C-alpha cells in the first residue's frame, strides 16, 4: 500500500472517529447544547447509530492502514468509505436547510470519495 493511501486512511479515520465517539459517548450532553439542535430534529437513536457507523468505519480504516488480516485487501475500508460518503450526504441534508455549517461534511465526503475510489479500484484490479 502506498503512502498516499495510508495518509488518506489516516485522515478518514480521524474525521470519522472523533465525531463518531462524541455521538456515542457524549450525546446526552450534546443534545442540551443550542448549537446541536440537529439532534432533536434527527432523534437521539439515529444520531447514536450514525456515531457507531463512524466509529466502525474508523476501525476499518485503521485496520487496513496497519494491515490487519482480512482488512488488508482494502475491500471493507473501501465499502466503509462509501458508507461515509452516504452518511456525510445525509448530514448535509440535515444541516444545510437550517443554516448550520456543513462545509466540514463536504470535506469529509471528498476525502472518503477519493479513498473509496482508490481502495475499490485497487481491490478490483487485484481480484482479476
For range 86-101, the mean pLDDT: 91
Place of cell 463518531: 20
Please state the domain count of the chain.
1
For range 112-122, the mean pLDDT: 95
Question: Containing domain of residue 61, as a range?
Answer: 3-127
The share of the chain scoring above pLDDT 90, in percent, equals: 62
Confidence check: pLDDT of 35 > 90? no
Predicted local distance difference test score (pLDDT) of residue 29: 82
Q: Global pTM?
A: 0.88
pLDDT tens column, 41-57: 888 889 899 999 999 99
What distance lies between CA 103 and its chain's CA centroid? 15
Amino acid at each position: 500500500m502506498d503512502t498516499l493511501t495510508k495518509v488518506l486512511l489516516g485522515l478518514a479515520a480521524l474525521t470519522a472517529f472523533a465525531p463518531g465517539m462524541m455521538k456515542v459517548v457524549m450525546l446526552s450532553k450534546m443534545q442540551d447544547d443550542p448549537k446541536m439542535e440537529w439532534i432533536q430534529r434527527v432523534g437521539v437513536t439515529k444520531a447514536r447509530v450514525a456515531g457507531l457507523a463512524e466509529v466502525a468505519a474508523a476501525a476499518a480504516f485503521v485496520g487496513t492502514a496497519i494491515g490487519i488480516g482480512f482488512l488488508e485487501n482494502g475491500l471493507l475500508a473501501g465499502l466503509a468509505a462509501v458508507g461515509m460518503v452516504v452518511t456525510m450526504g445525509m448530514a448535509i441534508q440535515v444541516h444545510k436547510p437550517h443554516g448550520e455549517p456543513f462545509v466540514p461534511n463536504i470535506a469529509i465526503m471528498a476525502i472518503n470519495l477519493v479513498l473509496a475510489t482508490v481502495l475499490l479500484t485497487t481491490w478490483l484490479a487485484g481480484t482479476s
